[in-house]
Structure 1
C-alpha cells in the first residue's frame, strides 16, 4: 500500500509540474516579440518559404507506425567521461549528446542547448527518452561564461536543466527573442537574461563578464530556418543559430535548422569559422525545410567557411541521443562521412562526453560501427 501511495504521489507531482515546464504564456511572450524583424500576425516567420510538414498525411502516419523504432541503436552507445582542463582552450568542444555542447573559445566556456533530463518533454513519464545516459552530471561542469539557447523545443530548452544551472552557475543566458519569458517564468534572475533578434551581437565585456586579461568574446544571434513551440501554438518565440567569436578563434553553433542562404551570409559577415557545430539528424522527406540532412550540413560548413569546404572543422550534433525521426540510428553519421570525404571537409565525430581539440584530432575512429547487439 505504501509503495502504491508513493507511486501515485510521484505521478501527481509530475503531472502538476507539466504546465510550468511548458513555459510562459503567449501573453507573457508577446511584449518582447513586438517589433522583432520577422514577427507579424502574432508569430515569427522564416525569411525563406518553409513548411513544417509536407506530403501526404496518411503516408506520414504509416511511417509513424512502421518506422518509429528505426532510430534506436542496435547496441549500447559508448560514453566518455569528460576530461576538461582547468583553463579553457583557444578552441575545443565537448559533446554531451544531441545538441548539448560545451564550447571553448579563447579561454571562455560557453554551454549551448543544455538538456540533461531523461526525456525531452514537459512530462517525466512520456515523450522521447534518452538512448544513452548523460556522460556526466551537470554539477561537474566547470564555471561557465555564457549559456546559449537556439530555440524553445524541449530537446533544446529543458526546464529542469535551467533550474540546475541557475543554482550552480552564475553565467548569463543569451537567447532569441521570446525565450526570456520562459526563463522569467522559471525564476531566472532578470540580470542573467539577454534576448536578441537575428544579427544582434553582444560582447561579454558589455555584460561585465570579460576576462581579467583583457580578452573578450562576441556572441551574435544568427538567422536559422526552423520553428518553435512548446504546446499546440507554434512560433511565438524566435529560433536562431549563434556565432561565438574571440580574438583568435570563431565557432558557429547551428542548433537546429534547415539549410538556408543565411549560412553563406553569416560566413561572409562573421566568418570564416574555425569550428562549426551543425545538426545532421532528425531529417525526413516530410520536413526538408526545417531540418538539414548530412549532405546539407557539409554544404553549410562550406558556406560558413566562405566557400572553402576544407577550412575549419565540422563536428556533427543533433543525432544519436533521441529518436526523433524515421532514419536509422547511425545513418546520419554514415552519410556525413561520405559527403565530407567527397567535399574535402575535415570532420570529427566524438562519442558522447568526448572533448575534441582540433589540434590533436583522433584519426580513423568509426566507433558508431561498433554499436551492435
Structure 2
C-alpha cells in the first residue's frame, strides 16, 4: 500500500471516529433530564404545572404564522449573513479590572469589569450553537481570543439554557481554566451538575434573588459586588420540552458602579421595575438582534432596546451607556446582518442615548472615549 493510500485510510478512520463522537455527544450536550431539574424548580415564583411562565402574557411565535415562517426559511435564510469578513480585535485586558468597562466577544458573551471585578456573561466558544457539532447555526466570525487566555474571573453568569447562551463544552473548559462560581437561574444548575461542575461552584437564583461575592467568600479589599437575578421575558428549552428551567437578566452592583446584562428577552415592564429598585445603571448590555414581528414577545427589536435602556436608568435615556449584544455572530432570524445596529443608532439619536458599538473582541471603557468608527458599514 502506498503512503498516500495509508494516509487516506487513516484520515477516513479519523473522520469516522469524529463523526461517531459527535453523534454520541448529542444527549450529553442537551443537558440534564426533566427529573433532575424538577426538584430545584419546585417552589420558584413563576413555576406551576411543571413549567416556568412569564409574568406578562407571551407567545413564542404569533398564532397563524407557520406558513409565513416556512416561506421565510426558504427565501430569507441567508439574509442575516454579511457579504464581507467581520473584523476582530484581540482583547488585551488590563492587569487590574476597571471601574466600569466591557469587552464584547460576540453575541451575548461579554467580559464586564466593575469596581475591580470581572464577570463573564453567557460564555459560548463553540463553533455551533446546537447539541450537534455537525448541524445548527454556525459562527459568522471566530472567537477573538481562546478561552484559556481569559483573565481570572470572579463570577460567570448565565441568562438561560438556549444553546446560544449555554454551551456544554465552554462550561467544561471554564471548570478547567477558572475557579469562579456559576450564577444561574433556577433549574440550570442541573445542566451544570450533569456536565461535571462542582456543587460548590453553582449558585441558582429565582427572580429577585441576590448574592454577593462576600457571601461566596470572594470579596476583596473591602469592596463587595452584589449580583441580582432579575425578571426577563423569554422562554427556555434544549429539546422538545419548553420552559423547564428559568430565564433571567442580571443586575451587577458594586460600591460605585452598576451594570445590567439583558441576556435574551422581549420588551417587558420588568425593566422599569429593575431600574427603580436596582438602578440607574452606568452600563446596559441589551439584545438588539434576532427579532421578528412573528415573535415580538420574546425578542425585542432595536427601538425597544433603546427604550429599555431608559427604563433601566430611572426613565433618563441620557444616563449611562448602552452597548448592544445578541447580534452579528449567529444567523438566527431573517433581518439583514447590520440592520439591528442601524435601527438602534437611529433610535438612540432620537432619544439622546449614548451608545458604543464595539467590534468582536473590542473593549469599551466608560471612562474613556467610546469607539467612534462605523466598522460594520462596509461589511454589508
Alpha-carbon distance in 1 for matches of 2:367, 2:217: 31
Which residues in structure 2 correspond to 1:176-187 (within 5 Å)?
176-187=185-196
Q: Tell me which residue corresponds to 2:125.
A: 116
Q: Is the 8 A contact 1:178 1:238 kept in 2?
A: yes
The reply to whether residue 100 of structure 1 matches residue 109 of structure 2 is yes
Alpha-carbon distance in 1 for matches of 2:275, 2:283: 12
Alpha-carbon distance in 1 for matches of 2:203, 2:158: 11
The reply to whether residue 259 of structure 1 matches residue 267 of structure 2 is yes
After TM superposition, the score normalised by the length of structure 2 is 0.97
SS in structure 2 at match of 1:369? coil
Alpha-carbon distance in 1 for matches of 2:317, 2:199: 41
Q: Tell me which residue corresponds to 1:366.
A: 374
Alpha-carbon distance in 2 for matches of 1:117, 1:64: 24
Alpha-carbon distance in 2 for matches of 1:106, 1:3: 51
Alpha-carbon distance in 2 for matches of 1:63, 1:31: 40
Q: Is the 8 A contact 2:158 2:185 kept in 1?
A: yes
Task: Identify the match of residue 25 of structure 1 among 20, 25, 33.
Answer: 33
Alignment CA distance shift 1:37-1:64 (3 Å): same
Which residues in structure 2 correspond to 1:253-332 (within 5 Å)?
253-332=261-340
Task: Identify the match of residue 3 of structure 1 among 11, 14, 17.
Answer: 11
Alpha-carbon distance in 2 for matches of 1:353, 1:167: 22
Q: Is the 8 A contact 2:188 2:246 kept in 1?
A: yes
Alpha-carbon distance in 1 for matches of 2:201, 2:230: 20
Work out the number of aligned pairs and report it: 371
Q: Point out 4+ residue stretches in structure 1 off by more than 4 angstroms.
A: none
Q: Is the 8 A contact 2:358 2:371 kept in 1?
A: no
The gaps in structure 1 that reach 5 residues or longer are none
The reply to whether residue 191 of structure 1 matches residue 204 of structure 2 is no
Alpha-carbon distance in 2 for matches of 1:362, 1:238: 34
Q: Tell me which residue corresponds to 1:145.
A: 154
Task: Identify the match of residue 170 of structure 1 among 179, 197, 218.
Answer: 179
Q: Is the 8 A contact 1:274 1:312 kept in 2?
A: yes
What's the offset of the Cα at 1:371? 1.3
SS in structure 2 at match of 1:62? helix
SS in structure 1 at match of 2:25? helix
Alpha-carbon distance in 1 for matches of 2:39, 2:369: 46
What's the offset of the Cα at 1:178? 0.1
Q: Tell me which residue corresponds to 1:209.
A: 218
The CA deviation string for residues 108-129 of structure 1, in whole angstroms up to 9 with x for no partner, is: 0000000000000011110000
Q: Tell me which residue corresponds to 2:348.
A: 340
Q: Tell me which residue corresponds to 2:46.
A: 38
Q: Is the 8 A contact 2:357 2:371 kept in 1?
A: no
What's the offset of the Cα at 1:370? 1.9
The CA deviation string for residues 135-164 of structure 1, in whole angstroms up to 9 with x for no partner, is: 000011000000000000000000000000
Alpha-carbon distance in 2 for matches of 1:72, 1:134: 17
Alpha-carbon distance in 2 for matches of 1:187, 1:369: 43
Alpha-carbon distance in 2 for matches of 1:370, 1:99: 23
Q: Is the 8 A contact 1:348 1:361 kept in 2?
A: no
The CA deviation string for residues 36-85 of structure 1, in whole angstroms up to 9 with x for no partner, is: 00000100000000000014211110001100000001100000000100
